[in-house]
């Protein structure tokens, strides 16, 4: 076994590899960019080496610097994680040329599977079923259109160098073919520097089922399947293992095809054979086709680990260190069911826009496996993938595991950035998904219902108001001997103000009026029945939905609302002093009215230079929020 390895990646996957390496007594070297100086993977590794500035082309894609870092720190092997350089055969060769071990397949195996057309040709030769289509060299538009007609619509145009759903177009009928071809080619040229495409039959009611394989260069086994059909725009959202509705017969056929594929290229390490499956009529031995091979550890590998008990990273290290396969096919069995949900910093109602922010608060339930590369205080920067965590659960059967996923998502708390948590929660309760009726179109069909922005109810507002008022830990805060204490709190959500009036009936007993609803809240220990935290000038309530409110300082708001001509009461209160008279000249910032509210004196000042035109309050007056107190002449 190696004494020390370098991990050429960041985020959750780097942390994941460090964890297993540490358990195996292997020391770890992290690499990082300037945006990641304080990132978790850097903190967790035994050593860390700076690569360069934040952009990936100057840091995580600098294979030369990574090899140099390994040599300088005495690491014997490099784990590539996924993404970045993990499927780059030139990097593998550079690693090996430096006398280091690449923890993964050979450059040759990666090249064999690198282009979708060549991979399909190879698989056809090996006897693995491949989606019917044209995978040849002729890229003439008229010829491809004619091929599409022969295959029969609908067809899928795919960039041969494609990945991440890019360069892919569904064409429903012949008249749309040429236009879609041109846009797929253009996208492929920009994204991959290779405009070549292939045409294949579009499988209706498609399911994405993939098989985890593992090889040692000679022999290979499979670790069963994962169903990754819950996708949005060809990106996986929730994965599970095993696949719903899978039969022993189809599993054996898919497993055999996957192992055949791996052996055909002398595969070493962890890999995934992705199949597209016709889900229209149950799973059949003649209803699955090879789509592509991912020659690396996959994001969703935890579901496979959960049902097999195998640590795939440990296997990667052992095989890379020269051991043969750690298990025979007969040693492997499925235990129960597992789900993984990908928690991202993204703005779902805005169309799943990647979000950024500093994580002010992050909490997960103890019932789930959490793979994460961030913690409280971490920044989700615009430079890299905005993944916050993978939440993986395991249960004895699918229904139990899925309930456990819902519960785990309900108990997950993130504040400081918007996330897709609400979307994942709704998805985990989706009727079709719960019934195991999954296909790659499920999310798109139900997108409107799954993506609605949360609408905070009166209770969420009430809890936010109490937390904003900080009736938190001091048991006597807000307690008064001579009657209920009232206090107004102004919150803002989604561009609108929400006013809440708190009436304190005693320690830990507050009535909150929100609009025409009254909510009674009792404090239980350190919470008010619904978890919530205050972070800076925000309160996040972790109720049925996670809602973040801004705490509006009425004084700031009053300043904005004055419009330059008036001084309004920012909150209800008692006028303590009026310092100006009609006709008096004032300069911006002059003291005009002193208002006592919330047991404090607030000095309200002239919004600009001018002459006082009207004074509508006198000392001793009680005013309501928004009342006009002083107006300047136009
Ligand atoms: P990428 O390299 O972008 O991952 P894939 O070839 O793996 O591309 O396809 C991505 C997704 O597109 C699949 O998971 C599936 O949802 C859909 N897809 C691919 N091929 C087909 C097909 N022939 N019929 C229907 N859907 C397909
Ligand atoms: P400010 O200008 O007061 O700093 P921002 O709106 O920029 O306020 O947000 C500050 C912090 O609050 C950031 O960390 C941001 O990510 C977080 N934040 C803002 N809106 C939300 C929201 N809807 N949900 C969760 N966190 C939020
Ligand atoms: Mg794929």
Name 623's bridge partners: 573
Q: Name the average pLDDT for the chain.
A: 92
Pocket test for ligand 2, best of 417, 456, 496, 541 (most atoms within 8 A of CB): 417
133 lines ligand 1 (CB under 6 A): no
Cα–Cα–Cα angle for 393, 394, 397, nearest 5°? 130
Does residue 561 register a pLDDT over 60? Answer: no
270 lines ligand 1 (CB under 6 A): no
Name the band, by pLDDT with cuts 50, 70 and 90, for residue 359: very high
538 lines ligand 2 (CB under 6 A): yes
292 lines ligand 1 (CB under 6 A): yes
**188: phi > 0 → left, psi -120 to 50 → alpha, else beta; which?**
alpha
What's the pLDDT at 479? Answer: 47
What's the pLDDT at 526? Answer: 85
For ion ligand 3, residues whose CB falls within 5 Å: 274
555 lines ligand 2 (CB under 6 A): no
Q: Compute the distance between CA of residue 7 and CA of residue 48 in angstroms, rounded to an integer.
A: 10
Nearest to 55 by CA among 31, 35, 85, 84: 35
Closest C-alpha to ligand 2, atom 3: 537
Q: Which residue has the higher pLDDT, 233 or 158?
A: 158
Q: Which residue has the higher pLDDT, 576 or 314?
A: 314
Q: Which ligand is nearest to the CA of 166?
A: 1
358 lines ligand 2 (CB under 6 A): yes
Residue with tokens 């039959």: 201
Does residue 630 register a pLDDT over 60? Answer: yes
* Token duo for residue 396: 């004895």
Asked if 288 contacts 275 with a C-beta cutoff of 8 angstroms, the reply is yes
Q: Measured between alpha carbons, how far is residue 478 from residues 183, 431, 489, 504 in Å? A: 64, 46, 14, 6
Residues 340-352 pLDDT 10s: 999 999 999 888 8
- CA 549, 553, 558, 564 torsion: positive or negative? negative
Name the band, by pLDDT with cuts 50, 70 and 90, for residue 284: very high
Q: Compute the distance between CA of residue 33 and CA of residue 39 in angstroms, rounded to an integer.
A: 10
Kindly compute the dihedral angle of the four CA atoms of residues 493, 497, 500, 501, in this order, to the nearest 10 degrees.
Answer: 160
What is the DSSP-derived secondary structure letter of residue 107? Answer: H
Average pLDDT in the 278-298 region?
A: 95
Task: Please give the helix or strand (H or E) that residue 316 lies within, else none.
Answer: helix 312-320
200 lines ligand 1 (CB under 6 A): yes
What's the pLDDT at 556? Answer: 67
Q: Which residue has the higher pLDDT, 363 or 191?
A: 363
Q: Compute the distance between CA of residue 67 and CA of residue 173 in angstroms, rounded to an integer.
A: 49
Listed ranges 288-297, 463-472, 588-597; the one with the highest mean pLDDT? 288-297
Listed ranges 209-213, 479-483, 534-538; the one with the highest mean pLDDT? 209-213
Does residue 491 register a pLDDT over 60? Answer: yes
What spacing in Å lies between the alpha carbon of 236 and ligand 2's midpoint?
A: 27
Share of the chain above pLDDT 90, in %: 79
Closest ligand 1 atom, residue 203 Cα: 24
Q: Which ligand is nearest to the CA of 159?
A: 1
Active-site residue, 296 included: yes
pTM, whole model, 2 decimals? 0.83
Catalytic residue among 10, 232, 296, 342: 296
Q: Which residue has the higher pLDDT, 144 or 382?
A: 144
What's the pLDDT at 475? Answer: 45
What's the pLDDT at 598? Answer: 61
What is the DSSP-derived secondary structure letter of residue 113? Answer: H
* Token duo for residue 200: 């294949």
Q: Which ligand is nearest to the CA of 360?
A: 2
Helix, strand, or coil here: 19? helix
Average pLDDT in the 93-108 region?
A: 98
Asked if 298 contacts 371 with a C-beta cutoff of 8 angstroms, the reply is no
What's the pLDDT at 571? Answer: 73
Listed ranges 502-506, 565-569, 610-614; the one with the highest mean pLDDT? 610-614
Closest C-alpha to ligand 1, atom 1: 163
* Token duo for residue 95: 């690693």
Residues 44-100 pLDDT 10s: 999 999 999 999 999 999 999 999 999 999 999 999 999 999 999 999 999 999 999
What spacing in Å lies between the alpha carbon of 236 and ligand 3's midpoint?
A: 9
What spacing in Å lies between the alpha carbon of 334 and ligand 1's midpoint?
A: 26
Name the band, by pLDDT with cuts 50, 70 and 90, for residue 450: very high
Q: Which residue has the higher pLDDT, 589 or 255?
A: 255
């Amino acid at each position: 076994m190696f004494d020390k390895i370098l991990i050429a990646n960041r985020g959750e996957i780097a942390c994941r590899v460090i964890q297993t390496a540490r358990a195996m007594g292997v020391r770890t070297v992290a690499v990082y960019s300037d945006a990641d100086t304080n990132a978790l993977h850097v903190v967790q590794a035994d050593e860390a080496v700076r690569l360069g500035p934040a952009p990936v082309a100057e840091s995580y894609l600098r294979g030369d610097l990574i090899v140099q870092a390994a040599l300088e720190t005495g690491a014997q092997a490099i784990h590539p994680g996924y993404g970045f350089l993990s499927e780059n055969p030139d990097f593998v060769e550079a690693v090996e040329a430096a006398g280091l071990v690449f923890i993964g397949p050979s450059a040759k195996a990666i090249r064999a599977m690198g282009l979708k057309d060549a991979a399909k040709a190879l698989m056809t030769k090996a006897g693995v079923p491949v989606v019917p289509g044209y995978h040849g060299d002729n890229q003439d538009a008229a010829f491809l259109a004619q091929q599409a007609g022969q295959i029969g619509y609908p067809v899928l145009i795919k960039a041969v160098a494609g990945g991440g759903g890019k360069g892919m177009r569904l064409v429903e009928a012949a008249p749309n073919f040429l236009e879609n071809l041109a846009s797929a080619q253009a996208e492929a040229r920009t994204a991959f520097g290779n405009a070549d495409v292939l045409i294949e039959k579009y499988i209706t009611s498609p399911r994405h089922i993939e098989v985890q394989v593992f090889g040692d260069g000679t022999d290979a086994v499979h670790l069963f399947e994962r169903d990754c059909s819950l996708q949005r725009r060809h990106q996986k959202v929730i994965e599970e293992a095993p696949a719903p509705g899978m039969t022993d017969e189809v599993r054996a056929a898919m497993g055999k095809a996957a192992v055949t594929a791996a052996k055909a290229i002398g595969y070493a390490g962890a890999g995934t054979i992705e199949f597209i499956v016709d889900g229209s009529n149950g799973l059949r031995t003649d209803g699955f086709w090879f789509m592509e091979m991912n020659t690396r550890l996959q994001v969703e590998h935890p579901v496979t680990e959960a049902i097999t008990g195998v640590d795939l990273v440990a296997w990667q290290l052992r095989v890379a260190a020269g051991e043969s396969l750690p298990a025979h096919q007969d040693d492997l069995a499925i235990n129960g069911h597992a789900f993984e949900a990908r928690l991202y910093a993204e703005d779902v109602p805005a169309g799943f826009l990647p979000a950024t922010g500093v994580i002010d608060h992050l909490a997960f339930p103890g019932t789930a496996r959490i793979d994460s590369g961030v913690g409280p205080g971490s920044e989700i920067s615009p430079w890299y993938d905005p993944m916050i965590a993978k939440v993986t659960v395991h249960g004895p059967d699918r229904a139990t595991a899925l309930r456990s996923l819902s519960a785990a998502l309900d108990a997950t708390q993130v504040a400081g950035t918007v996330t897709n948590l609400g979307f994942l929660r709704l998805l985990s309760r989706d009727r079709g998904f719960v019934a195991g009726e999954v296909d790659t179109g499920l999310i798109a069909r139900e997108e409107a219902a799954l993506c609605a922005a949360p609408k905070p109810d009166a209770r969420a507002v009430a809890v936010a108001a109490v937390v904003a008022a900080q009736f938190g830990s001091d048991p006597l805060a807000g307690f008064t001997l001579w009657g209920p204490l009232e206090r107004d709190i102004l919150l803002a959500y989604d561009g609108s103000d929400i006013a809440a009036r708190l009436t304190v009936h005693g320690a830990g007993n507050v009535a909150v009026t929100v609009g025409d609803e009254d909510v009674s809240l009792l404090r239980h220990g350190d919470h008010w029945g619904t978890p919530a935290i205050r972070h800076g000038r925000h309160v996040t309530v972790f109720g049925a939905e996670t809602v973040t409110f801004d705490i509006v300082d009425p004084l700031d708001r009053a300043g904005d609302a004055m419009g330059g001509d008036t001084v309004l009461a920012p909150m209800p209160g008692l006028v303590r002093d009026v310092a100006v008279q009609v006709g008096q000249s004032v300069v911006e910032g002059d003291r005009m009215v002193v208002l006592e509210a919330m047991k404090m004196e607030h000095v309200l000042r002239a919004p600009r230079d001018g002459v006082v035109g009207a004074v509508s309050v006198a000392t001793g007056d009680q005013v309501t929020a928004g009342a006009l107190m002083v107006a300047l002449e136009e």
